[in-house]
């Protein structure tokens, strides 16, 4: 690896003690709990912790999970979550302090203009600023709805989604 790539990866600062803090939006209220956070977090990488303060309120709208993200794979944009009753919900992931994300391949460590994948000029890129927690578009937080192709196919469970239980 050249010095520039190593420098970028060090700025991302994904250490075993830290990880990336991810907010999970779109869950039903019965899935905003620690057990569901652990299950969903496992599908993203190695879970460091589930932020229990995020759902201490009766009005909690999201889960926060700290996860060590593998740098050699694309980050997840969202995907299906199945509740204990078997109902499927599409959720979106927002990343806090996300930097160095390629909007073309979804990997951390380089920008789109440095990506090895063929250019997608004229097409909507599959990743973007909207994945960052707190991203605002036009003065209001972006509430981009997850689509059916958000999850990575290679990591999706055969059941069609992440199973979570309260």
For residue range 42-65, list pLDDT tens digits in order: 999 999 999 887 667 766 788 999
Q: For residue 149, give both structure tokens.
A: 């192709």
Residue pair 31/83 in contact (Cβ under 8 Å)? The answer is: yes
> Three-state SS string across 7-51, please?
HHHHHHCCCCCCCEEEEEECCCHHHCCHHHHHHHHHCCCEEEEEC
Specify the 3-state DSSP secondary structure of 54. helix
DSSP-assigned letter for residue 119: P
Q: What is the pLDDT of residue 160?
A: 43
Q: What is the pLDDT of residue 144?
A: 45
Q: Measure the CA angle with vertex 35, ends 34 and 37; round to 5°.
A: 65
Distance of CA 156 to the CA centre of its chain: 14
Mean pLDDT of 56-78: 86
Share of the chain above pLDDT 90, in %: 31
Q: With 50 as the cut, is the pLDDT of residue 15 above it?
A: no
Q: With 90 as the cut, is the pLDDT of residue 75 above it?
A: yes
Q: What is the pLDDT of residue 123?
A: 83
Q: With 80 as the cut, is the pLDDT of residue 136 above it?
A: no
- For 141-158, how does the pLDDT look when each residue is reduced to its tens digit (9 = 90+)? 434 444 444 443 333 333
- For 81-128, how does the pLDDT look when each residue is reduced to its tens digit (9 = 90+)? 988 888 999 999 999 888 888 999 999 888 888 888 888 777 888 998
**Whole-angstrom distance, CA of residue 29 vs CA of residue 55:** 9
Average pLDDT, the chain: 75
Which of 122 and 133 is assigned the larger pLDDT? 133
How big is the chain by its Cα radius of gyration, in Å?
16
Beta bridge partners of 25: 62, 92
């Amino acid at each position: 690896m050249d010095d520039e790539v190593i420098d970028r990866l060090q700025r991302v600062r994904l250490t075993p003690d830290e990880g990336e803090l991810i907010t999970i939006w779109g869950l039903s209220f019965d899935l905003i709990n620690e057990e569901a956070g652990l299950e969903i977090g496992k599908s993203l990488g190695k879970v460091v912790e589930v932020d229990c303060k995020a759902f201490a309120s009766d009005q909690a709208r999201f889960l926060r999970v700290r996860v060590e993200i593998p740098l050699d794979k694309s980050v997840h944009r969202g995907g299906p979550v199945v509740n204990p009753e078997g109902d499927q919900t599409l959720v979106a992931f927002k990343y806090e302090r996300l930097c160095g994300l390629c909007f073309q391949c979804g990997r951390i460590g380089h920008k789109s203009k440095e990506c090895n994948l063929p250019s997608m000029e004229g097409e909507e890129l599959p990743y973007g600023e909207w994945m960052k927690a707190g991203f605002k578009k036009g003065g209001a937080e972006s509430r981009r709805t997850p689509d059916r192709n958000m999850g990575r196919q290679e990591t999706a469970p055969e059941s069609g989604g992440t199973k979570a239980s309260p």
